[in-house]
Amino acid sequence: MKAFLQGKGVIQYLAEIYYQLYVAPGMEGAEEMYKAIVKRGESAYAKELTHFTLSDQDKIEVANTPAGEMKVVTLHERHDFEIFLQIMANRCAVKEIPATQGASIIDGIINWRRIEAHRDEFIKKELEKGVDEPDWSAEFSRFTMDKSNYLDAIIVLSVGPYSGITAAKVDMSDDEWLGYSDTIRKYHECTHFICRRLYREKIDPIWDEIVADAVGIFAAFGRYDAKMAELFLGIDENGYFGGRLENYVDVDKSDTALWGNEMEKVSKQVHGTIMQFSEMIEKSKLSDPFEIAIMLEESK
């Protein structure tokens, strides 16, 4: 994963590509401005970013994955992460972002700068060929038939201990654990991107989380740690003791008996899968985290 940009200019750079970032969620007419910018390619009324804090520690990195290149944006201030999601994922609507959410893949973002660049190049070439009135309308329809020509995807991350696990639980200092958490979170989300692009027919929330955690752990430590994988999900060989796993089990918690039985069953299945992954990764001798992702996904 290579560095692309760091500092307070990160959000400014992104705002010059996605003008909707200039619109503060909750301001008068915000959702209408968002639609005009995103759906019709209009400019922002004012290029203001005062609704963001901006941090010298913000950064953009580029990950070269088996599913293509992906920009990974890390926003150091929690406030900025939440505002960014409200704008880019929730159409400039004020919406509470759960404290437990520390990352998101935002896919299908219309990039009008790519469309405009193609328009300018098309008109230039048509004029050079002697066409007095280039038919941009027809070319626009042709160009946008291929969504890869104008739709972007980005990963946005916050900063904090991974999966809400304290540094003490993994026997590390706070700073050390935050550094490892950053790596785990990045590779976890990149793995989701890979799996959603290359294995659409295999999407399964619990399986996907086990795979993504495995790749994140491997990327951070150069090995797989089954105990850490179980800690992240809140399980061990005896069952579920509280953690992220319940977020992916679709059972009504108000029916305590049903919920308890389901969590017990799922916990045992997850424990078995983690043990299987541990053996597979050790035997594989692979060193690239994304190769681990492909191997685990294809083992399903």
What is the mean predicted confidence (pLDDT) over 239-244?
A: 91
| Strand partners of residue 107 | 153
Q: How many percent of the chain have pLDDT more than 70?
A: 100
Question: Could you report the per-residue pLDDT of 186-196, keeping only the tens digit for each?
Answer: 999 999 999 99
Give pLDDT, residue 81: 97
State mean pLDDT over 74-88. 97
pLDDT > 90? residue 201: no
Q: What percent of the chain is predicted at pLDDT more than 90?
A: 89
Which range (82-86, 131-135, 249-253) has the least confidence?
Answer: 249-253
CA distance 30 to 47: 14
Q: Is the pLDDT of residue 203 over 90?
A: no
- Prediction pTM value: 0.91
- What confidence tier does 99 reach under pLDDT thresholds 50, 70, 90? confident
Give residue-wise pLDDT tens across range 249-295.
888 888 888 988 999 999 999 999 999 999 999 999 999 999 999 99
**How large is the average pLDDT for residues 162-189?**
96
- Work out the mean pLDDT of the chain and round it to a whole number: 95
Give 212-237 pLDDT, tens digit per residue. 999 999 999 999 999 999 999 999 99
Residues with Cβ within 8 Å of residue 21, at least 6 apart in sequence: 11, 14, 15, 49, 84, 87, 88
Please spell the DSSP secondary structure of 204-215, one letter per residue. Answer: -HHHHHHHHHHH
Q: Residue 3 contacts by C-beta under 8 Å, 6 or more apart in sequence?
A: 59, 60, 61
**Residue-level pLDDT at 185:** 96
Residue 254: the pLDDT is 84
The stretch 293-298 carries a mean pLDDT of 96
Q: Identify the CA nearest to 178 among candidates 195, 198, 199, 163.
A: 163
